[in-house]
């Protein structure tokens, strides 16, 4: 039965992702927003909601040492999964759809947008990891760091929203729910209907992710999978499904800036806002120590993996789907480390 729930949840998430990518593109068009704002802010924040709810609930509404640890693990695990597995899956999508893509295996992106996201992630994540190594008794400094992270993310968002939309925007597919709106033309849907579609799609994504995570937990328990593996590896994969599906849909359409921005923008959000929540509500738990060593190791691998994937873009202004596959290697390395730690422990 749980396997059927897993399959059904995947269908729900995929349907939600299809509606969301279509709706958020139309919202950006109606508002005159550039691809950076649409992919790195609107899409990234929207699809980051399922995994953001995990640490929010764990830290704010379940104030215990165990729940704090779960929340911190979820916060650190999200950027790691995006920098490794999401990049790998997106690279596979580029290679798999190369015959129908205008640029083939080349990832045709706006380098300025993606590198801006990368700088934002490195800065906010460096602050987040740095405060974890502060000695005990400096909790007020962590509160200041939380304020800095929120302000920095606000500045990042404003820069994307202030960027001008490209003049040569590609044609958009008709709004999926536009057919039921008899008061609008197919090529010019009403903003209200666009917003309705975006909200509906987010609801499907969240519901699908919730069903998927629940089914994964039940299957893992039935198979006797260790709880550490479940919290560090299996659950984060499930909660990152929306970003992966969105990116696959966009690379299939040749909209690579939206696809990559959906990932890198989510990484900036995850390294700033959920971290700020943890620093405010669980400052004493945000500490790099023996109990969180494996989780903080994932943070280091996330930074190295993202740098490895985007190095060709920074050096030559060009990257390929094949080059994105390196994210999978870093993921396997971390998986091997986690399995070894579980086996020893």
Give the mean pLDDT of the chain: 85
Whole-angstrom Cα distance, residue 118 to residue 46?
19
SS3 276: helix
Residue-level pLDDT at 205: 85
Whole-angstrom Cα distance, residue 39 to residue 5?
30
Whole-angstrom Cα distance, residue 17 to residue 201?
7
Residues 59, 67 contacting (CB under 8 angstroms): yes
Per domain, the residue ranges of the chain are: 2-344
Per-residue pLDDT at 254 exceeds 50: yes
Q: Please name the residues in contact with 189: beta carbons below 8 A apart, sequence gap of 6 or more.
A: 26, 174, 175, 178, 181
Can you read off the two tokens belonging to residue 58? 């764990």
> pLDDT by residue (tens digit) across 79-138?
999 999 999 999 999 999 999 999 999 999 999 999 999 999 999 999 999 998 888 788
Answer with the residue of higher pLDDT: 283 or 186.
283
Per-residue pLDDT at 33 exceeds 50: yes
How confident is the model over 181-188, as a mean pLDDT? 77
Residue-level pLDDT at 62: 63
Residue-level pLDDT at 131: 92
> pLDDT by residue (tens digit) across 223-252?
776 555 666 666 667 667 778 888 999 999
Can you read off the two tokens belonging to residue 283? 């400052």
> pLDDT by residue (tens digit) across 258-314?
999 999 999 999 999 999 988 988 888 788 766 667 778 888 999 999 999 999 888
CATH number of 2-344: 1.20.1420.30
Whole-angstrom Cα distance, residue 6 to residue 209?
10
Whose structure tokens read 């985007």?
310
Which is nearest to 105 in space by CA: 260, 318, 330? Answer: 318
Give the count of alpha carbons within 13 A of 225, CB side only: 18
Helices (H), 163-292: 191-223, 227-229, 235-239, 241-252, 256-281
Angle among Cα 194, 265, 251 to the nearest 5 degrees reads 70
């Amino acid at each position: 039965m749980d396997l059927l729930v897993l399959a059904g949840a995947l269908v729900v998430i995929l349907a939600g992702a299809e509606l969301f990518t279509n709706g958020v593109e139309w919202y950006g068009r109606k508002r005159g927003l550039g691809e950076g704002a649409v992919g790195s802010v609107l899409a990234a924040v929207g699809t980051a909601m399922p995994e953001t709810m995990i640490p929010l609930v764990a830290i704010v509404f379940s104030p215990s040492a165990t729940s704090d640890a779960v929340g911190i693990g979820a916060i650190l695990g999200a950027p790691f999964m995006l920098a490794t597995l999401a990049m790998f899956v997106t690279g596979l999508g580029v290679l798999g759809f190369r015959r129908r893509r205008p640029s083939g295996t080349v990832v045709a992106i706006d380098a300025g947008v993606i590198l801006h996201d990368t700088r934002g992630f490195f800065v906010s994540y460096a602050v987040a990891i740095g405060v974890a190594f502060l000695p005990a008794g400096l909790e007020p400094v962590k509160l200041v760091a939380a304020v800095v992270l929120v302000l920095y993310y606000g500045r990042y968002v404003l820069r994307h929203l202030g960027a001008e939309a490209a003049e040569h925007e590609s044609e958009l597919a008709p709004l999926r729910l536009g057919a039921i709106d008899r008061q609008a033309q197919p090529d010019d849907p009403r903003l209200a209907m666009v917003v309705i579609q975006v909200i509906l799609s987010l609801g499907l994504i969240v519901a699908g992710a919730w069903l998927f995570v629940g089914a994964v937990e039940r299957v893992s328990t039935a198979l006797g999978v260790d709880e550490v593996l479940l919290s560090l590896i299996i659950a984060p994969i499930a909660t990152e499904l929306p970003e992966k599906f969105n990116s696959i849909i966009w690379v299939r359409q040749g909209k690579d800036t939206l696809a990559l921005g959906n990932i890198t923008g989510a990484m900036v959000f995850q390294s700033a806002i959920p971290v700020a929540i943890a620093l405010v509500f669980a400052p004493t738990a945000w500490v790099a120590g023996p109990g969180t060593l494996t989780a903080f190791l994932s943070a280091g691998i996330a930074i190295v993996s993202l740098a490895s994937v985007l190095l060709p873009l920074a050096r030559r202004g060009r990257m390929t789907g094949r080059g994105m596959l390196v994210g999978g290697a870093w993921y396997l390395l971390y998986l091997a480390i986690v399995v070894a730690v579980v086996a020893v422990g």
